[in-house]
């Protein structure tokens, strides 16, 4: 079943006009027409079985019929990732969405190669991944912001799981398993060039930081993000039995 994310409020019987891109996708790519079913969600009102009312030349119109799932939100899990090359960053956004993060915060650090990025494109990638994975919401994408500024305003009740390839951190599972999933958590992944020594010192000085190792090999930033999020979901998140 085709799932589409829409910004509109969803209530039974009130038609929703789709975007030009979504209308083209339904009509010309998926060859759907009036009377066919699709599923809509907006991150607030749950998931709705809906019927295509019209697919005319302009915006297609879809009418929600029945709510099939109430709105839920996953754990307050966030990924803080230093900007890396475009293709790798897009992979990180797609995989982090599939792995259930609630927010992706983009950070610039001493060794980040890029200072800017196309956040609109990253949001579109997150929407597509959310549509395909059955999520009921789309992660927020925040930033880019300087790592320094992020650390200066770090909320004390938010755990920061610092993926540190320096080699002196304990294995991630060993340190996170005993903690609770109730606490909001963020996973920090550095740039291709790693963190500068003073950045590492500032991160490790945070009271709620948990430095962790992802094993003896230096992983690419995208691999590290996927590995850390998978471990978190298995140990504390929605992969648990
Ligand atoms: N500084 C490294 C180097 O020597 O080139 C590379 C950094 S790595 C490509 C990017 C980020 O992935 C790191 O900053 C860290 O956050 C994470 N990472 C990679 N391998 C890791 C490991 N074995 N343990 C913990 N974190 C790791």
For 40, residues 6+ apart whose C-beta sits below 8 A from its C-beta are 3, 4, 5, 6, 10, 16, 47, 48, 50, 62, 64
Q: Is 210 in the pocket of ligand 1 (CB under 6 A)?
A: no
User: Do the Cβ atoms of 83 and 210 come closer than 8 Å?
Assistant: no
User: Do the Cβ atoms of 204 and 162 come closer than 8 Å?
Assistant: yes
pTM over 0.85: yes
For Cα atoms 209, 214, 217, give the angle at the middle one, nearest 5 degrees.
135
Residues in the chain, pLDDT under 70? 57, 114-115, 178-182
* Ligand 1, atom 27: closest residue by C-alpha: 165
Pairing of strands 47-54, 61-69: antiparallel
Q: Is 107 in the pocket of ligand 1 (CB under 6 A)?
A: no
Q: Is 81 in the pocket of ligand 1 (CB under 6 A)?
A: no
Question: Residue 241 has what pLDDT?
Answer: 78
The encoded tokens of residue 112 equal 């980040």
Alpha carbon of 67 to ligand 1 centroid (Å): 43
Pocket-testing residue among 196, 218, 222, ligand 1, by greatest number of atoms within 8 A of Cβ: 218
Beta-strand ranges (E) seen in the chain are 3-5, 16-17, 37-41, 47-54, 61-69, 77-82, 103-108, 140-146, 159-163, 185-189, 209-212
Question: Residue 180 has what pLDDT?
Answer: 58
Pocket-testing residue among 224, 225, 226, 227, ligand 1, by greatest number of atoms within 8 A of Cβ: 224
Beta bridge partners of 134: none
Return the biggest CA–CA distance within the chain: 61
Question: Residue 115 has what pLDDT?
Answer: 61
Question: Residue 181 has what pLDDT?
Answer: 61
């Amino acid at each position: 079943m085709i799932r589409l994310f829409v910004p509109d409020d969803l209530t039974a019987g009130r038609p929703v006009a789709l975007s030009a891109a979504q209308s083209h996708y339904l009509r010309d790519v998926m060859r759907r027409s009036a009377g066919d079913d699709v599923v809509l969600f907006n991150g607030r009102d749950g998931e709705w079985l809906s019927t295509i009312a019209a697919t005319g030349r302009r915006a297609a119109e879809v009418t929600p019929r029945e709510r099939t799932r109430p709105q839920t939100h996953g754990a307050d899990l966030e990924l803080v990732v230093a900007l890396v090359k475009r293709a790798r960053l897009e992979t990180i956004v797609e995989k982090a969405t599939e792995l259930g993060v609630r927010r992706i915060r983009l950070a610039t650090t001493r060794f980040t190669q890029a200072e800017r990025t196309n956040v609109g494109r990253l949001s579109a990638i997150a929407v597509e991944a959310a549509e395909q994975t059955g999520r009921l919401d789309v992660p927020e994408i925040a930033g880019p912001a300087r790592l320094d500024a992020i650390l200066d305003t770090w909320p004390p009740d938010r755990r920061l799981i610092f993926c540190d390839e320096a080699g002196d951190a304990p294995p991630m599972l060993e340190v996170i398993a005993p903690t609770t999933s109730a606490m909001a958590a963020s996973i920090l992944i550095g740039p291709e060039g790693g963190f500068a020594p003073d950045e590492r010192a500032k991160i490790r000085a945070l009271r709620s930081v948990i430095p962790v190792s992802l094993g003896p090999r230096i992983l690419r930033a995208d691999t590290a993000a996927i590995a850390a999020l998978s471990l978190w979901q298995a140990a504390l998140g929605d992969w648990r039995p």
